[in-house]
Amino acid sequence: AQTVTQSQPEMSVQEAETVTLSCTYDTSESDYYLFWYKQPPSRQMILVIRQEAYKQQNATENRFSVNFQKAAKSFSLKISDSQLGDAAMYFCAYSTGDSNYQLIWGAGTKLIIKP
Amino acid sequence: KAGVTQTPRYLIKTRGQQVTLSCSPISGHRSVSWYQQTPGQGLQFLFEYFSETQRNKGNFPGRFSGRQFSNSRSEMNVSTLELGDSALYLCASSLISGAQTEAFFGQGTRLTVV
């Protein structure tokens, strides 16, 4: 069974600094997708970034980038120039690429931004 | 473009009752997935519907059921409520079924069972 592990329950960073959130996963599949979602206090889950396993290039979305290490089954999220609006719960998630579509989630990391 | 709408936003029910939650996906989206979020178990997949058919189901008891209508709106039903069913229930819609398309989430329904 696939699993997703986030080992950092909480992280804090000074505004404008860079922070990295960790995520590891376990799967025997070759075709899969990895995601980082953000859940602010409004509770609405928002997609931050997505990575297809077959792509070697790390995904980037503005200040957000990932370090995808396929062999190590690691998928960390780097947030550059942290802003107060980045404060939220961040969830790492996995899904296979086949018809068995479901998101498998990590436990989440609470990100605190210090002004 | 309207987002995913979940109703009601908050709900309080008594043990043993049943409850129905509603999810209206983004216009044109045909896939709707449901997730349960609790402090203890985290986020867990309930089921996915695509074109009125349940394509996938998570590891939940039969008390949890759902359906999807021809306009892609989905309902989730929980019968014989237990205290442990207290959770935030999230709905996500996507254009088609599969991880290759982005899933957009609603703000959830907070269910409290007393």
Instruction: Encode pLDDT of A68-87 as tens digits.
Output: 999 999 999 999 999 999 99
Place of tokens 């503005």: A62
Closest-CA distance, A61 to chain B, in angstroms, reads: 14
| For range B99-105, the mean pLDDT | 88
**In angstroms, what separates the C-alpha of A73 from chain B's closest C-alpha?**
18
> Who contacts A100 (Cβ-Cβ below 8 Å, separation ≥6)?
B56
Conformation bin of residue B27: beta by default, left when phi > 0, alpha when psi is -120 to 50: beta
Return the pLDDT at A99.
Answer: 74
Q: Is the pLDDT of residue B67 over 90?
A: yes
Strands A10-14 and A109-114: parallel
Output the six-digit token pair for B87: 């959770």
Least CB–CB distance from B107: residue in A33, A43, A103:
A43
List the single residue in B43, B97, B110 with the smallest CB-CB distance to A105. B43
Question: What pLDDT band is residue B1 in, cutting at 50, 70 and 90?
Answer: low
Asked if B106 has any chain A CB less than 8 Å from its own CB, the reply is yes
pLDDT digits (tens, 9 = 90+) for B31-58: 999 999 999 999 999 999 999 999 999 9
Q: What angle do CA A34, A40, A44 make, to 5 degrees?
A: 70
Longest dimension (CA), chain B: 40
> Tell me: the pLDDT tens digits for A2-50?
899 999 999 999 999 999 999 999 999 989 999 999 999 989 999 999 9
Mutate to test the interface with A, among B43, B54, B89 (most CBs of A within 10 A): B43
Mean pLDDT for chain B? 95
Element (H, E) at A95: strand A88-96
CB contact under 8 A, B48 and A32: no
Report, as an integer, the average pLDDT of A54-58: 92
Which residues in chain A are contacts of B90 at CB distance < 8 A? 43, 45
For CA atoms A90, B40, B35, B106, the dihedral sign is negative
- pLDDT score at B96: 83
Q: Contacts from A86-89 at CB under 8 Å and sequence distance 24+?
A: A86/A38, A86/A111, A86/A113, A87/A40, A87/A111, A87/A112, A87/A113, A88/A38, A88/A39, A88/A40, A88/A41, A89/A38, A89/A39, A89/A40
DSSP A80: -
